[in-house]
Amino acid sequence: MSFQEAWDLEEVDPLFNVPACVLFAQRQPDAKTSYPIKAQKVKGKLARRNASLEESKKHLHTEDIELHLHQRGKRSYWSPDKAITTQKASFYKEPFLPRGNYRPPFNVVRRD
């Protein structure tokens, strides 16, 4: 799978009760993501929950950004900050190992 673009919706309120984003990807054999990834950071306060697109456009502002891959130990994440060399796992990792698994709600929309 090759990630092509992302929309960061974390600073849109009210939207969902958890941070949200949209990822665009292509599924191809041996596909690799090339970095940085094009992205849009969307910010704004909507007039109401479930506002229409026309209503929302008045309140939302977008900023074009690029996301870089960061690696810390065995974990990785995307950030607008320039990627630096791979870092060791955090000093605090061991004392705070998770006691259970939490997975936020995740929806996938497939277009054919």
Question: What is the residue extent of each domain of the chain?
Answer: 2-96
The two tokens of residue 32 are 């690799």
Do the Cβ atoms of 7 and 42 come closer than 8 Å? yes
Show pLDDT as tens, one digit a residue, over the chain (112 residues).
888 999 999 898 888 778 888 999 988 888 888 888 999 999 999 988 888 889 888 899 999 999 998 887 788 888 888 866 666 656 665 655 565 555 555 566 666 6
Using CA of residue 49, residue 54, residue 56, residue 58, what is the dihedral sign? negative
pTM exceeding the 0.85 threshold for the entire prediction: no
Do the Cβ atoms of 4 and 26 come closer than 8 Å? yes
What is the DSSP annotation of 28-80? -TT----SSEEEEEEEEE-SSTT--HHHHHTTEEEEEEEEEEEEETTEEEEES
